[in-house]
Structures are given as C-alpha cells and as structure tokens.
Amino acid sequence: MLTSPLLAVAARASDWSPTVAIVMIISNIIAIAFAKYTVKIPNADPALPSPELFGGFGLPGLLGAASFGHILGAGAILGLSNIGAL
C-alpha cells in the first residue's frame, strides 16, 4: 500500500547511451585529478603493473579514486537526467 506512492515519485535513471558513458568518464577523470593532489600516499603497495599509466597510483589509490569517480558520475547522471539534459 505504501510502496505505490513511493514508486510514483521515484526518479527514473536514464538508459545507457554514449552521452551517459562520456559523463561517467569525465567524472572519473575529475576524481583522479582531484585524488592526485589530495591523497597522502598515492603509491601505496601493492603497486600496479605500470604506475605511469595510472597516474602514479598504487592499487589502493586507484580503487579509491575510481570509486569516488563513480559516485560523482552516478550523481551527475541522475542530476542531468532529472533536469532533462540526458
């Protein structure tokens, strides 16, 4: 009974498209650039196979930056689809 009004006001995410992918990629690039200057120990062990390719990050730094990028990207995609831009 209570779920039907809640489902009526829930925001629907947009379907996947190349535009959605571009928003997610840009969000991850912004997050990695932000992490490059704010992470205390970016090259913590275990190291990645070629650290130059991943911005000098170790595995923990890369996972943290990519997780933050996906959170930013999900928010950006939901926000842009809510205002009708996607």
> 76 pLDDT band (50/70/90 cuts)?
very high
Q: What angle do CA 71, 77, 79 make, to 5 degrees?
A: 100
Residue boundaries of the structural domains of the chain: 16-77
Q: What angle do CA 21, 69, 6 make, to 5 degrees?
A: 75
CB 72 within 8 A of CB 27: yes
Section 23-38 average pLDDT: 90
> 51 pLDDT band (50/70/90 cuts)?
low
Q: Which two tokens stand for residue 75?
A: 């928010």
| Cα→Cα distances 41→18, 32, 33, 73, 83, Å | 34, 14, 15, 24, 38
Say yes or no to pLDDT of 68 above 70. Answer: yes
Section 15-38 average pLDDT: 90
Section 21-41 average pLDDT: 88
DSSP structure string for 43-70:
TPSSPPS-TTTTTT--HHHHHHHHHHHH
Global model pTM greater than 0.85:
no
| C-alpha 77, offset from chain centre | 10
Q: What percent of the chain has pLDDT over 70?
A: 77
